[in-house]
């Protein structure tokens, strides 16, 4: 059986975490897949709870490369076939580890690496450039959308070394979630049957929540029977709060919401306004709750949202179009319900964790076959 070591920071809470967990479940019985992370946090605890094979090799800080020799010894002892990295921290470690281990190194590109640290000048200056250098050291790449494969190719990465693996989701075991009333009461939201529009995203520039807020403002000029919820935290918070000051009674900043299925259960319409995306889990997760999404037409979103069939796409920054879709769905609840049913069925058929695991297994086999031919 192919034996693969996955490396990830361990501080992950968003799509990368969901990707790893869905992938590990999908690979069960196909691959001996194990995880090593470098921070002991909720990621590690959840992985243990789910029964995944995981260890922590703690780093005191990002520059602590003492983990490289520990990893080298672990890889040789366990005789891994492939090293599979996820994220900038793991990529950087692999750049040094590669000097000591003669097996294929692959990394999954979950996002546009040039935008990962865009909101922090220091991190953008240092970590973005380090990640660019580290990425060049890998033998193979996996992207979570065809558009990201094109992005890598256009930036000089070899096309024949890039594979595509769309995100999949565990649609058989939806986590526990609380009722709509309980969730809204948690945040002291005075709910009287209003239409609730929500967005779950980091509060940073790449997610462009300014467009969400401007769309909300335009909606409320015509219809005040709408509440807007923002689930997420980030450096754009104060700026976004100022943008929303004029209608603060209709918009609520919830901060980080750990139980995102409770959030999706509480809202009537899901929105995503990013200027760059891969294949976002927030749409997959919302679909499991029969929840319709309106999202910007970026990344792989066109592989899941088909206009007037499974939701609606809008252009980046087009808050006027967002306003129009919200008001249309407010006034057409039967259509809203039908779109939610359609996307639920489509995701179940095409983006399950099982199909994700099977595709990843084939990618691993292709990599090892190519390596055997070379050697």
pTM of the model: 0.85
- 199 within a domain of the structure (yes/no): yes
- 323 within a domain of the structure (yes/no): yes
Residues 20 and 166 in one domain: yes
Residues 370 and 227 in one domain: no
**145 — phi, psi (to 5°)?**
-160, 155
Residues 146 and 19 in one domain: yes
Residues 138 and 184 in one domain: no
Q: What is the 3-state secondary structure (H, E, C) of the chain?
A: CCEEEEEECCCCCCHHHHHHHHHHHHHCCCCEEEEEECCCCHHHHHHHHCCCCEEECCCCCCCCCCHHHHHHHHHHHHCCCEEEEECHHHHHHHHHHCCCCCCCEEEEECCCCCCCCCCCHHHHHHHHHHHHHHHCCCCEEEECCHHHHHHHHHCCCCHHHEEECCCCECCCCCCCCCCHHHHHHHCCCCCCCCEEEEEECCCCHHHCHHHHHHHHHHHHHHCCCEEEEEEECCCCHHHHHHHCHHHCCCEEEEECCCCHHHHHHHCCEEEECCCCCCCCHHHHHHHHCCCCEEEECCCCHHHCCCECCCEEEECCCCHHHHHHHHHHHHHCHHHHHHHHHHHHHHHHHHCEHHHHHHHHHHHHHHHHHHHHHHC
- Checking if the pLDDT of 128 tops 90, the result is no
Residues 216 and 120 in one domain: no
pLDDT at residue 118 in the model: 64
- Checking if the pLDDT of 177 tops 90, the result is yes
Q: What is the average per-residue pLDDT within 252-259?
A: 95
- 295 within a domain of the structure (yes/no): yes
- 121 within a domain of the structure (yes/no): yes
Residues 234 and 164 in one domain: no
Boundaries of domain holding 195: 180-350
Lowest-confidence region among 5-19, 120-134, 180-194? 120-134
Question: Tokens 């090799």 belong to which residue?
Answer: 57
Residues 202 and 336 in one domain: yes
pLDDT at residue 59 in the model: 92
Residues 205 and 163 in one domain: no
Residues 157 and 140 in one domain: yes
Residues 270 and 366 in one domain: no
Q: What is the CATH number of the domain that holds 95?
A: 3.40.50.2000
Task: Work out how many domains the chain is built from and give that number.
Answer: 2
Average pLDDT across the chain, whole number: 93
Round to whole Å and give the CA distance between 350 and 135. 30
Residues 246 and 157 in one domain: no
- 36 within a domain of the structure (yes/no): yes
Q: What is the average per-residue pLDDT within 323-348?
A: 97
pLDDT band of residue 117 (cuts 50, 70, 90) is: low
- 188 within a domain of the structure (yes/no): yes
- 87 within a domain of the structure (yes/no): yes
Residues 323 and 368 in one domain: no
- 175 within a domain of the structure (yes/no): no
Distances (CA, A) of 193 to 273, 324, 330: 25, 21, 12
pLDDT at residue 346 in the model: 96
């Amino acid at each position: 059986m192919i034996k693969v070591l996955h490396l990830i920071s361990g501080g992950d809470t968003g799509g990368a975490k969901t990707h790893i967990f869905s992938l590990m479940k999908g690979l069960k019985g196909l691959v001996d897949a194990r995880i090593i992370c470098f921070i002991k946090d909720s990621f590690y605890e959840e992985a243990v709870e789910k029964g995944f094979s995981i260890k922590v090799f703690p780093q005191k800080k990002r520059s602590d490369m003492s983990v490289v020799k520990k990893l080298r010894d672990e890889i040789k002892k366990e005789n891994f076939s492939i090293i599979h990295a996820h994220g900038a921290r793991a990529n950087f470690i692999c750049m040094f580890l590669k000097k000591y281990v003669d097996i294929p190194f692959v990394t999954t590109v979950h996002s546009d690496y040039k935008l990962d640290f865009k909101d922090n000048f220091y991190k953008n200056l240092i970590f973005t450039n380090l990640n660019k250098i580290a990425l060049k050291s890998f033998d193979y790449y996996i992207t979570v959308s065809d558009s990201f494969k094109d992005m890598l190719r256009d930036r000089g990465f070899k096309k024949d070394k890039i594979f595509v693996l769309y995100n999949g989701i565990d649609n058989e075991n939806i986590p526990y979630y609380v009722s709509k009333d309980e969730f809204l009461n948690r945040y002291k939201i005075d709910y009287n049957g209003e239409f609730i529009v929500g967005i779950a995203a980091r509060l940073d520039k790449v997610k462009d929540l300014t467009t969400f807020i401007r769309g909300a403002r335009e909606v409320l000029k015509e219809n005040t029977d709408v509440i807007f919820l923002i689930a997420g935290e980030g450096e754009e918070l104060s700026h976004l709060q100022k943008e929303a000051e004029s209608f603060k009674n209709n918009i609520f900043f919830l901060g980080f919401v750990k139980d995102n299925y409770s959030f999706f259960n509480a809202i009537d319409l899901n929105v995503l306004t990013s200027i760059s995306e891969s294949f976002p889990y927030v749409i997959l997760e919302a679909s499991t709750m029969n929840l319709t999404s309106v999202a910007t037409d970026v990344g792989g979103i066109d592989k899941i949202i088909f206009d007037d069939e499974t939701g609606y796409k809008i252009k980046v920054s087009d808050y006027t179009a967002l306003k129009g879709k919200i008001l249309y769905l407010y006034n057409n609840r039967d259509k809203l319900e039908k779109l939610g049913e359609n996307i639920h069925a489509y995701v179940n058929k095409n983006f399950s964790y099982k199909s994700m695991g099977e595709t990843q297994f084939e990618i691993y086999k292709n990599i090892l076959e190519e390596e055997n031919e070379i050697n």
